[in-house]
């Protein structure tokens, strides 16, 4: 099903690559184990296989390059380390968010929670999960879209024996149902008991590709595991009797070429205390029983084989992008403190304006709480922060992995973020204006502007808030962090606006405002004085601040397009089919 051809990582500072010219296959109905010590390149190989890490080589799924799959998550489910979920999101909320991304019904989240045994703790935050719970959630994410293949990076690492047994039973059951499994491990015996085929790595290179039975007979030798506070003395005695002793740690030794009875008698004769004495054999493979008989297994394998997806040239974004973005944004409590803080600051700024008597002639400042001391209104800053969080959290907690899930930088997801951000910004601007007017009616009734009499000011508030939100979205997408996204929003009044004023040579909005009114009169046939609210809106748009905001948005859109194109080019280069010399290795067996 899956072919890895010539996978090679990029070397750094003249050091050899972590993985070099690695070629192997992962077949349907089998568990393939990738074996090697720490630093042998197992994790790097998986990341190269999934396209998460740049390198050379190719990954073919049913003969098609990985980057040409329309929905890779429907073919491959992966678990690489911990689940990259927001710590304050619940397990059910995280899975429902991914259901929207993959185009699955929300009920699938509850189904998979029951499969992995997390239904009782589905509403608990991810930050409260234990290692075992986090690993089960990782399996839930990998199995969510019912993939035909599972790619797992040492899934039993650090787990208790009972949890490790559950992991191995799960992967064997998936293979018994006709799926393919590739998992890594450092314990040769455990991996050989679980796998049908073992691929051994050493220094990033292939050293063995055998069936599990062949691997056990040729490379796993029976030995006696001994633990004693006097292990070194016992090792010397056993070596004198002709046994081969290998020190595993300070108090542990492995004894080859003898039995536990002989070792126990030697220890007894010399008064050596033993804490552990066990025969460990590596030539017997006791796999967990398959969960399906041969006929049922054949039926399920045919079902997997008929599950194909349409393949296109590039990977799109989430299937239900708006649903995904709404669940991502409002599935945690982060937006609400931002909204409440922005409203409180807007009200305080309005009180300051009313008490000091400043900006009485500017309905825009009165309705938006834009004190002269602030670079932009508090509601616009809050909208900019919400926009920056939309992509800042996307990259900090990457639920949409680029190698096996929807593309997080796709135009579809960007449009969804801009739409949801605009609606949120408009709601924030409306609430801020309503709160400001209510406060003004309490403390300064004579200075309250009627919002209905100032449509241009309302339009200016809305445009300002939405523009700042979009600037935050685009800047966070380009710089991949929330802090720089918000910094780009604040850079509009601090850098872009002074630059526009300097470019205009000190002329403020009068000339541009007159031009806007003239344009309105030409388009509508209404005189400039009779243009009403629309003419005033055009004059607002012609002010340096709005021109600076428009200029910043244009630059950010261009930067996002350039970074997205460059990322796609690098992805295609890293997954390009290798030369004919490497491709000939696909036929190599064993």
Closest CA to 369 of 445, 424, 431: 431
pLDDT for the residue numbered 308: 39
DSSP per-residue letters across 371-423: -TTSSS-HHHHHHHHHHHHHHHHHHHS-SS-TTTS--TT-HHHHHHHHHHHHH
- Is domain 2-218+286-309 classified as CATH 3.40.47.10? no
Give the model confidence (pLDDT) of 394-404 as tens digits. 999 988 876 67
pLDDT for the residue numbered 509: 45
| Structural tokens at position 118 | 């997390």
Closest CA to 477 of 325, 333, 323, 341: 325
Residues of the chain with confidence (pLDDT) below 50: 282-292, 297, 300-313, 359, 506-531, 533, 535, 537-538, 542, 574-590
Q: CA 62, CA 576: separation in Å to the nearest integer?
A: 16
| Structural tokens at position 291 | 């969960």
Q: CA 413, CA 388: separation in Å to the nearest integer?
A: 14
Phi, psi for residue 333 in degrees, rounded to 5: -90, 0
What H or E segment, with its residue span, contains residue 198?
Answer: strand 197-202
pLDDT for the residue numbered 373: 80
- Terminal Cα-to-Cα distance of the chain (whole angstroms): 17
| CA distances (Å), origin 69, targets 18, 147, 449 | 27, 13, 57
pLDDT for the residue numbered 240: 87
pLDDT for the residue numbered 341: 94
SS3 277: strand
- The fold of the 223-280 domain, in CATH, is Alpha-Beta Plaits (3.30.70)
Task: Look up the pTM and report it.
Answer: 0.76
| Contact between 574 and 59 (Cβ < 8 Å) | no
pLDDT for the residue numbered 199: 92
Closest CA to 223 of 186, 267, 184, 189: 189
Give the model confidence (pLDDT) of 337-354 as tens digits. 999 999 999 999 888 888
| Domain parsing of the chain, residue ranges | 2-218+286-309, 223-280, 321-489
| Pairing mode of beta strands 197-202, 55-61 | unpaired
| Contact between 396 and 483 (Cβ < 8 Å) | no
């Amino acid at each position: 099903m899956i072919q890895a051809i010539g996978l090679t990582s990029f070397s750094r500072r003249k050091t050899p690559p972590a993985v070099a010219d690695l070629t192997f296959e992962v077949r349907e109905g089998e568990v393939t184990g990738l074996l090697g010590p720490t630093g042998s390149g197992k994790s790097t190989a998986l990341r190269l296989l999934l396209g998460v890490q740049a390198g050379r080589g190719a990954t073919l799924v049913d003969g098609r390059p990985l980057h040409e799959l329309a929905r890779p998550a429907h073919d491959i489910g992966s678990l690489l380390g911990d689940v990259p979920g927001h710590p304050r999101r619940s397990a059910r909320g995280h899975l429902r968010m991914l259901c929207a991304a993959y185009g699955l019904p929300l009920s699938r989240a509850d189904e998979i929670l029951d499969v992995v045994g997390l239904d009782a703790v589905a509403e608990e935050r991810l930050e409260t999960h234990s290692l075992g719970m986090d690993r089960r959630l990782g399996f839930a994410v990998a199995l969510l879209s019912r993939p035909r293949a599972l790619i797992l990076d040492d899934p039993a690492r650090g787990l208790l024996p009972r949890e490790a047994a559950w992991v191995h039973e799960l992967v064997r059951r998936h293979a018994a149902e006709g799926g393919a499994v590739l998992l890594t491990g450092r314990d040769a015996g455990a991996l050989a008991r679980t796998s049908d085929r073992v691929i051994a790595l050493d220094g990033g290179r292939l050293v063995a590709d055998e069936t599990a039975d062949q691997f056990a007979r040729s490379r796993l030798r029976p030995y006696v595991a001994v633990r004693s506070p006097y292990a070194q003395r016992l090792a010397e005695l056993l070596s004198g009797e002709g046994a081969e002793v290998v020190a595993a740690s300070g108090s542990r030794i492995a004894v080859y070429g003898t039995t536990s009875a002989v070792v126990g008698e030697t220890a007894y004769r010399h008064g050596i205390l033993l804490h552990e004495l066990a025969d460990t054999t590596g030539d017997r493979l006791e796999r967990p029983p398959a969960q399906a008989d041969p006929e049922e297994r054949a039926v399920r394998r045919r079902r997997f084989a008929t599950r194909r997806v349409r393949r296109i040239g590039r990977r799109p974004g989430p299937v239900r992008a708006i649903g995904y973005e709404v669940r991502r944004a409002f599935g945690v409590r982060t937006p609400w403190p931002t909204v409440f803080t922005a409203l409180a600051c807007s009200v305080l700024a309005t009180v300051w304006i009313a008490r000091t008597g400043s900006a009485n002639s500017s309905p825009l400042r009165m309705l938006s709480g834009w004190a002269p001391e602030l670079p932009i209104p508090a509601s616009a800053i809050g909208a900019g922060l919400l926009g920056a969080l939309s992509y800042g959290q996307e990259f900090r907690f990457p639920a949409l992995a680029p190698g096996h899930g929807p593309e997080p930088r796709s135009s579809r997801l960007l449009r969804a973020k801009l739409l949801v951000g605009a609606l949120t910004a408009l709601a924030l601007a409306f609430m801020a204006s309503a709160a400001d007017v209510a406060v003004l009616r309490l403390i300064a009734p004579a200075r309250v502007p009627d919002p209905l009499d100032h449509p241009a000011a309302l339009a200016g508030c809305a445009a300002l808030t939405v523009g700042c939100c979009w600037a935050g979205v685009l800047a966070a997408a380009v710089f991949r962090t929330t802090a720089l996204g918000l910094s780009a929003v604040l850079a509009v009044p601090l850098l872009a606006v002074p630059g526009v004023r300097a470019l205009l040579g000190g002329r403020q909005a009068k000339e541009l405002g007159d031009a806007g009114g003239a344009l309105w009169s030409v388009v509508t046939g209404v005189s400039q004085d009779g243009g009403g609210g629309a003419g005033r809106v055009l004059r607002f748009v012609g002010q340096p601040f709005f021109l600076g905001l428009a200029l910043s948005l244009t630059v950010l859109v261009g930067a996002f397009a350039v970074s997205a194109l460059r990322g796609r080019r690098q992805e295609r280069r890293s997954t390009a089919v290798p030369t004919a010399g490497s491709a000939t290795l696909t036929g190599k067996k064993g």
